[in-house]
Amino acid sequence: YLMVAPALQTLQAKYRIYLKYRMTVFLTILSSVGSVLFAVLLVSVMEDKLFGRIFGQQFVMVAVNLVLYVLILYQGKCFKWEYCKYALGFAIPLVPHLLAGNLLGSSDKIMIEKLCGSEDLALYSVAYNCALMAKVLMDSLNQAMIPWLFEKLNSNDEKEIKHISQIYFSIFMLLAL
């Protein structure tokens, strides 16, 4: 997952720059909702619920990111090793940071599993993933809205910003409730 995850982030940044909001939202929803739904399915049908949750979430994320990674390489005009060497100078020190972040992000699940058992952990994970879907949706729409907002701020179109923002905030308030 860590090897192919930058593919999604790269394409999302590209689509935000080119104001392709729908693609940014689509890619985020495809990867996040797909992984949550597959994890929920595996948790409900597998005997080892913890393995079902982990495998279900990571499998979809790896599959989507791998396809995007191949797409980026296929669409690329050139591949230069000196760019890779330059990037590795920044990337290698980030490996311990990302591993520690993953460990910290999983510590709640480890504690629940040790204190309450795998079944309670699976239930917690389902609830956590449902909340995560709302957060991912909000984050993806925020990322899609940022270029539009700057464009409207640049043209001093405060009336449209206010109108769209009221609709936007109302929808998410209702979803949160």
Question: pLDDT by residue (tens digit) across 65-109?
Answer: 999 988 888 887 677 888 888 888 888 888 898 888 888 877 888
Which position has the token pair 């495998």? Answer: 55
Contact between residue 112 and residue 124 where contact means Cβ atoms under 8 Å apart: yes
Structure pTM? 0.49
pLDDT of residue 143: 74
Contact between residue 111 and residue 123 where contact means Cβ atoms under 8 Å apart: no
Question: pLDDT by residue (tens digit) across 3-44?
Answer: 888 888 888 888 877 878 788 888 888 888 888 889 889 988
